[in-house]
Structure 1
Amino acid sequence: MTQGLTFKPLQPFKQWLENVDVREGERARFLCQVIPAQCPFERDVRFFGKVWFHIPPLCKLNPFYEQLVMLRFKSLCYLADECGEDITPYC
């Protein structure tokens, strides 16, 4: 029985994102500002105070979603633990 080969063209970039090392305060601050804390696409569409429909979060459709969230988390941890900064402005 042979196993089928799978083609994963995005895997090298995903792996690169997972291996980004955050060791500079300026880089960590930049990443925390650029990567949103929550999905910016989820919305309730309201007319005259009534919810007409809901747009679900589309971030999970992003193939790099998990890697970007992890990179933001590593940046926040670096700022809090290594730099001793207050990270509430990024939350």
Structure 2
Amino acid sequence: MKVYHNTTKKIFLASWVPLNQAQQDAPAAEMHRPSPKPEFGILQSIRRWLDNVPVRDRQLAHRLCKFIPSQCPFERDVKLFGKTLFHIPPMCKLNPVYEELVGLRFRALCYLADECGEDVTQYC
């Protein structure tokens, strides 16, 4: 059995065959994979809006830093008589716009620190 010969032949072919020719050689079943499900249109528009909110006002930046928490407020350790009974994990990552809100808060912090020259340690 010539394992080395067959393996090097396939590696050589895969590294030199153009992508469109490799797709033509692939079976039809592999080419027609189901596409990922599209997200809800309303969530995409909210995400896009949050990503495009300009932070150019000092009062707006202060409000955003105050209202958007730096850590998940729902994460808790439930203790009884000094012993931890159970831990409630952070639930913020289940929020569909979590990343956009964190990004908005970060842009507000950067605006206050870079443009306004303020100390932002009170929001950390």
TM class, shorter-length: over 0.9
Note the C-alpha offset of 1:6: 2.1
TM superposition shift of 1:52: 0.4
DSSP 3-state at the match of 1:63? coil
Q: Which residue of 2 aligns with 1:65?
A: 98
Q: CA offsets, 1:26-84, max 9 Å, x none?
A: 10001000000111111000001000000000000001100000000000000000000
More helix by share: 2
Report runs of 4+ in structure 1 exceeding 3 Å deviation: 1-5
Counterpart of 2:61 in structure 1 is 28
Q: Aligned in 2, Cα 1:79/1:54: closer, same or farther, shift over 3 Å?
A: same
Task: Pick closer, same or farther for the CA change 1:63–1:7 going to 2, 3 Å.
Answer: closer
Instruction: Say which one has the larger Rg.
Output: 2
**Structure 2-normalised TM-score?**
0.69
- Taking structure 1 as the reference length, the TM-score comes to 0.93
Quick check: 1:83 aligned with 2:121? no
5+ residue gaps, structure 2:
1-31
Unaligned runs of 5+ residues in structure 1 are none
